[in-house]
Amino acid sequence: MTNKLLSELYKGEYDNETSYTIGDIVTYQGSSYVCIQNSTGNIPTNTEYWGKLAEKGVQGEQGPQGEKGDKGDKGLNWKGAWNSSTEYAVDDAVEHNGSSYICIQANTTQEPPNATYWELLAQKGVDGEGSGDVIGPSSAVNGNFVAFDGSTGKLIEDSGYSADDFASKPHGNEAHSVNFAEEDKIKGINEQTETSYTLVLADAGKAVRLTNSSNITLTVPTNSSVEFPIRTKIAIIQGGSGQVTISPDSGVTLESYNNAYKLTGQYAGAVLIKRDTDTWILEGDLTS
């Protein structure tokens, strides 16, 4: 073995993966050992490969307790969202419009960011521009419930129902006949007096009453134009002498007995029910 400095021989803490040569020194479990035979994977307590240089010493007695440290800075008192009726003291902290502030002068009605009374702690971040993977319709009826479309959990649609559809109704035999009328109640009547009209999303659940002395065309739009929820129901009523023809837009299918799309006369009515994306059921007082 060539002469080496002690610093070159010391290999640090024993490593089971390291190859050691004669003269290498390691520490192991607090003691130190010298390699006496080239070794890999033989722990230092194996006297065939290692000789002990120094035994681990006995643990010393516990030293005296150190001096007490300096008192830390006073922390803030979190008060939640700022409230104009709350009395705030110095070091009270609040949240307001997405940012947080600490009170630097006692106050009650001084709204952040009034710099006389508040110091900014953290500025509100910039709103993100990303979007999640839940996809809804391009439009919906205000107040209607949301429903899942399909089974992925990522598509939603307008259910066609609002809280009014599930409002409490009287019970008992006398009121029972009223229940059916309440459940079938339309949400309103859309009065139209022109000779042509195309359904809009707000017509869902309503009756469209068309009144004119001349013939009238009511157009059922494609789903890409007006995204009515599946199961949407719309009543059509002829209010005047002008005959109403219910016409599907290009790409829309109307399922009607004998392909009858015209109301039979004044005060005749029909109902449209959306069965699929661009397919509607049409039934009522109809003629070809």
Mean pLDDT is highest, among 31-35, 44-48, 214-218, for: 214-218
Range from 40-49, 60-69, 156-165 carrying the lowest mean pLDDT: 156-165
What per-residue confidence (pLDDT) applies to 168? 47
First to last CA, the chain: 113
What per-residue confidence (pLDDT) applies to 174? 42
What per-residue confidence (pLDDT) applies to 263? 97
pLDDT digits (tens, 9 = 90+) for 113-133: 999 999 998 998 887 666 566
Burial 171-188 (b: 16+ CB within 10 A, else e): eeeeeeeeeeeeeeeebe
Percentage, residues of the chain above pLDDT 90: 61
Fold (CATH) for 185-287: Jelly Rolls (2.60.120)
| pLDDT beyond 70 at 169 | no
The domain ranges of the chain are 6-54, 77-122, 185-287
**Tokens describing residue 275:** 């069965």
| pLDDT beyond 70 at 176 | no
pLDDT confidence of 181, banded at 50, 70, 90? very low
Average pLDDT, stretch 60-83? 86
Choose which CATH entry (2.10.10.20, 2.60.120.260, 3.10.20.600, 3.40.309.10) describes domain 6-54: 2.10.10.20
Mean pLDDT is highest, among 5-14, 135-144, 190-199, for: 190-199
Evaluate whether 6-54 and 77-122 have a shared fold: yes
Report which of 199, 196, 215 is spatially closest to residue 207, judged by C-alpha positions.
199
What per-residue confidence (pLDDT) applies to 62? 86
pLDDT confidence of 167, banded at 50, 70, 90? low
Distance CA 226, CA 198 (A): 10
Mean pLDDT is highest, among 50-64, 144-158, 246-260, for: 246-260
Percentage, residues of the chain above pLDDT 70: 88
What per-residue confidence (pLDDT) applies to 141? 77
3-state secondary structure the chain: CCCCCHHHHEEEECCCCCEECCCCEEEECCEEEEECCCEECCCCCCCCCEEEEECCCCCCCCCCCCCCCCCCCCCCEEEEECCCCCCECCCEEEEECCEEEEECCCECCCCCCCCCCEEEEECCCCCCCCCCCCECCCCCCCCEEEEECCCCCCEEEEEEEEHHHHCCCCCCHHHHHHHHHHHCCCCCEEEECCCEEECCHHHCCCEEEECCCCCEEEEECCCCCCCCCCCCEEEEEECCCCCEEEEECCCCEEECHHHCCEECCCCCEEEEEEEECCEEEEEECEEC
What per-residue confidence (pLDDT) applies to 65? 87
> What is the CATH number that goes with domain 77-122?
2.10.10.20
What per-residue confidence (pLDDT) applies to 173? 43
What per-residue confidence (pLDDT) applies to 160? 73
What per-residue confidence (pLDDT) applies to 70? 83
More confident residue, 92 or 75: 92
Distance CA 131, CA 117 (A): 38
What per-residue confidence (pLDDT) applies to 149? 75
